[in-house]
Structure 1
Amino acid sequence: MITSPIWLPATLIAGAVQAWRTAIQRRVSHSLSINAAGLVRYLYGIPFTLLLLGGYALLVPASLPAIAPTFLLFCVGGGLAQIVATNLLIAAFKHRNFVVGTAYSKTEAVQGAILSFLLLGERLHPLAWAGIGCGVTGVMLLSAGGKRMGPGDFLRALGQPAAKAGMASGLFFALTAIGIRRATQAVGGDDRILAALLVLVATVLVQTLMQGAWLMAREPGEMRRVLASWRVSGQVGLLSALGSACWFAGFATAPVALVRIVGQVEVAFTMAFGHFYLKERMRGSEAAGLLLVVVGVALALMGAL
């Protein structure tokens, strides 16, 4: 059920910011371990999430809403799922077949639609399901980077470590979205943006504690590298906080699957950045994939009206 039209601009902004953040985070990941690279976005995101919550509270004064006992449980669950998903995605990238890992991670929209139906009872219009199919197909074409990979190639690749890690990553990203949505539902009141920001602050704090404790116990040397990378990592933290605030606002006000399929415009922003800024030539298969993503978003929006 859609409770506010704010979900659409929030999701579009989230896709754009995430594409930007990913481009910067790649610079950090080259010099850090998987867990250290993951910690960067949470640790350096804390001050910015607090500023977002404080700024919103000043602009829209309101008393602290009632919070259900399950609030922290869902924040921890959603936060842990996101840590696992991010680590699995980075692991998929470290395998030789980057293409396959990326493509299978994009099954998140389908997995999210199924899980949100089973766990949250969210139902989608047939047009939205058609949009999910178009969008996932388009993203897989784009992930192929112009290489000839038919349906049979993707099916045969199922046994590859990159494919397994990619699909598992998509599953945990879907679980992240469901956990965040349930956490926002545990916040009382009609202000869903305030609920989303409260969930964001709580989730980022517990993620920093969880992954930070793991890093200190298992990779203490990496913590020094995390702190030494503050110039670039601070940018990652800022963009991560902005992007997550928009994602969480979307999850608080619209069905999980709908937010995720529209959020795939992130791919379009990435392609546009490469084409117009980096002057990269767009191949025919990439143009077809981009068109399918756009059609998928349009169908999803038509099904939401």
Structure 2
Amino acid sequence: MPLWIPVTIFAAFMQNLRFLLQRHLKVTGLSTAGATWARFAYSAPLVAALAFGYLWLSGQATPAADLRFWAFLVPGAIGQILATMCVVALFAFRNFPVGVTLAKTEVILSAIIGLILLGDTVSPGLVAAIAIGFVGVVLLSDPPKGDTSLPLRQRLFNRASGYGLASGLLFGVSAVGYRGASLALDSGDVFLRASLTLAAATAVQTLTLGLWLAFRERGEIARVAASWRVSAPMGLTSMLGSLGWFTAFTLQTAAVVKALGQVELVFTFLVSVFWLKERSSAKEIGGVVLILASIGLIFWRSV
């Protein structure tokens, strides 16, 4: 089995845990930007220590980070922040179901952006797997009903749809940017390149969003510092999940990694059924079946 497959599944599982902790932070009083920044601020030191510790222990030469590396990394890091904000903004609109669906175009857009910027190609079989998974994700998301009294044109072309498509595009830019940055490093094994790229990305995100909070949300940084009991474990899960994603991006095209990473929604579904004892609709069960079919097809085409 190719290494990127178990690494991606591990990353998706850790991301699921991180979302649970981040959701708890949001309901305890932090703003959306504050809860997002806590993820970067608490994971950045851990990632840096791990990356440079591994560099020292492995005895490898430090890879040179040239202009190409930063040209991929900075847009990827900023794109991830902006994409998250777009998703949050969706929920302020009454007619957001179409926007939520458009946000799920992330995998498809990752394939297009990867082809344009990196020349990454995807086989017909994997294209089919991505398409099946996309339908499953849309079914499993099952957003609340929109305002169906509005004309179709207004339901499709509105600010919510714009935010949804923007988030899918920005998440695609982020994934391809991280893969491009890791591949731009001129030396080092897979884990070294992935960890150093992640260290640079979290440093950029911590600094950028930290400056935003300092000027636009006075006092939020202090509230993040006071939330360390939850923020610190969240930083740990964020580091582990991100290391998985970055390692997988170094080994495989972003679109295929993101397609397999949709297994995270299956983890969330299982938690809701077996832990929270929530009842599932036929639509949700159908979505899980399609995602599992997509994952099975990816296994078959990759192993």
1:270 is matched with 268
SS in 2 for 1:45: helix
CA contact (8 A) 1:127 1:302 kept: no
Deviations 1:111-155 (A, max 9, x none): 11111112211111111111111101000001116979xxxx999
2:286 is matched with 288
1:217 is matched with 215
d(CA) in 1 for partners of 2:267 and 2:256?
18
2:171 is matched with 173
- The structure 2 residue matched to 1:69, chosen from 43, 67, 70, is 67
d(CA) in 1 for partners of 2:284 and 2:152?
17
1:182 is matched with 180
TM-score, with structure 2 as normaliser: 0.90
- Structure 2 spans left out of the alignment, 5+ residues: none
d(CA) in 1 for partners of 2:273 and 2:32?
29
CA contact (8 A) 2:104 2:137 kept: yes
Q: Residue type matched to 1:21 in 2?
A: R
d(CA) in 2 for partners of 1:46 and 1:176?
17
2:191 is matched with 193
d(CA) in 2 for partners of 1:114 and 1:142?
24
d(CA) in 1 for partners of 2:112 and 2:127?
10
d(CA) in 1 for partners of 2:11 and 2:195?
14
TM-score, with structure 1 as normaliser: 0.90
2:21 is matched with 24
1:227 is matched with 225
2:33 is matched with 35
Which piece of structure 1 moves more, 16-25 or 263-272?
A: 16-25
- Structure 1 spans left out of the alignment, 5+ residues: none
Q: Residue type matched to 2:24 in 1?
A: R
1:7 is matched with 4
d(CA) in 2 for partners of 1:136 and 1:156?
24
d(CA) in 2 for partners of 1:155 and 1:137?
22
CA contact (8 A) 1:128 1:302 kept: no
2:302 aligned with 1:304: yes
Deviations 1:21-50 (A, max 9, x none): 112211222322232222111111112212
Q: Residue type matched to 1:277 in 2?
A: W
Deviations 1:150-172 (A, max 9, x none): xxx99974334333212211110
SS in 1 for 2:91: helix
Q: Counterparts of 1:56-95 in structure 2 under 5 Å?
A: 56-57=54-55, 60-95=58-93
For residue 302 of structure 1, report the CA deviation from its aligned partner: 2.9
CA contact (8 A) 2:48 2:196 kept: no
CA contact (8 A) 1:104 1:140 kept: no
- Structure 2 CA distance for partners of 1:58 and 1:64, relative to 1, 3 Å: closer
For residue 63 of structure 1, report the CA deviation from its aligned partner: 2.5
d(CA) in 2 for partners of 1:155 and 1:138?
25
- Structure 2 CA distance for partners of 1:95 and 1:67, relative to 1, 3 Å: same
d(CA) in 2 for partners of 1:219 and 1:75?
26
For residue 173 of structure 1, report the CA deviation from its aligned partner: 0.5
- Structure 2 CA distance for partners of 1:208 and 1:190, relative to 1, 3 Å: closer
Q: Residue type matched to 1:206 in 2?
A: V
For residue 88 of structure 1, report the CA deviation from its aligned partner: 0.9
- Structure 2 CA distance for partners of 1:158 and 1:231, relative to 1, 3 Å: farther
CA contact (8 A) 1:66 1:187 kept: yes
- Structure 2 CA distance for partners of 1:257 and 1:35, relative to 1, 3 Å: same
- Structure 2 CA distance for partners of 1:63 and 1:184, relative to 1, 3 Å: same
d(CA) in 2 for partners of 1:159 and 1:181?
32
For residue 58 of structure 1, report the CA deviation from its aligned partner: 6.0
SS in 2 for 1:29: helix
